[in-house]
Amino acid sequence: MSTASYDRDVDTASASLQDLSYLITERDNLRRSGSPSAADVAGKAKGALMKADKLIDGLDRQLKALEADPAVLPAREALRKRDTLRKLTSERQRLKALERTTVAQTTSVSDKDALLSNSSRGGGGTAAPLPIATPDELQAKTMIEIKNQDEQLDSLSKGLDGLKQMGLAISDETSLHMKLIDDLEEGVDKGNTALRREAARAEHITQDTKTCWLYITICILLAVLITLVVIGFGNVVKT
């Protein structure tokens, strides 16, 4: 298990939560409009939620395995990753609560049936007139629609805030990794320079050693030569 593989899984989990948020919003809009395709989108949302659960649970197991080896994951980086996972878990819980929320239709089925019934009455005669809504009823209906839209906007705002926090956390992780890589490159460069310096020093010492033995040999030969000259000069003096 490596930190790079874990980071890729974090990105996948973040994208899965984003897809789930979009599906929940689309499902709620279809339910409010009474569209029959809301059931299909709801099924996709459940599948996305199961996928997100599986990914986040897997991230928790992977992080525990990485935390067990400080050589692979230092303590400071482990804290950052644990905080990112905590934010992903919180966003999953929020979306899970939204997925379980039932949104009522803006126009109820009974109202639709009443409209159809009124339009089909009378046979060849005059159709029954539709009831005219009072200003208070129109205002109440408008307030309900505004409230539903506000709830939807609040849900989108919370989802965007969660995604923003996850993006910032991923950015911090990337910055930390780049700093670690820079420190590693700097250490390698320093080690390489020190190695070259030591190699040059060793070569210089080797050359000095060879020269020293050469000087010693010359001195010995010079001493022998002087001795022979002195002995020869002594013999000449005696004769």
- Residue 93 is assigned to a structural domain of this protein: yes
Among 90, 105, 120, where does a domain finish?
105
* DSSP reduced 3-state for 185: helix
User: Are 53 and 93 spatial neighbours (Cβ–Cβ below 8 Å)?
Assistant: no
Q: What is the CATH number of the domain that holds 32?
A: 1.20.58
**Quick check: pTM over 0.75?**
no
- Residue 140 is assigned to a structural domain of this protein: no
The per-residue pLDDT for 71 is: 80
Task: Show the tokens assigned to 227.
Answer: 């001795």
Among 105, 128, 156, where does a domain finish?
105
The per-residue pLDDT for 236 is: 73
**Which among 35, 38, 27 is positioned nearest to 107, based on CA atoms?**
35
- Residue 237 is assigned to a structural domain of this protein: yes
User: Are 73 and 67 spatial neighbours (Cβ–Cβ below 8 Å)?
Assistant: yes
Task: Give the C-alpha separation, 74 to 77, whole Å.
Answer: 6
Tell me the mean pLDDT per 10 residues along the chain, length 239: 81 88 87 83 88 88 84 83 88 86 55 46 44 59 77 80 84 84 85 83 72 80 85 74
- Residue 234 is assigned to a structural domain of this protein: yes
Q: How many domains is the chain built from?
A: 2
- Residue 221 is assigned to a structural domain of this protein: yes
- Residue 166 is assigned to a structural domain of this protein: no
The per-residue pLDDT for 140 is: 67
- Residue 114 is assigned to a structural domain of this protein: no
Which residue segment(s) compose the domain that 230 sits in? 208-239
The per-residue pLDDT for 135 is: 61
Rounded to 5°, angle at Cα 120 from 115 and 123: 155
The per-residue pLDDT for 111 is: 46
- Residue 169 is assigned to a structural domain of this protein: no
**Which among 32, 42, 145 is positioned nearest to 98, based on CA atoms?**
42
Among 49, 72, 105, where does a domain finish?
105
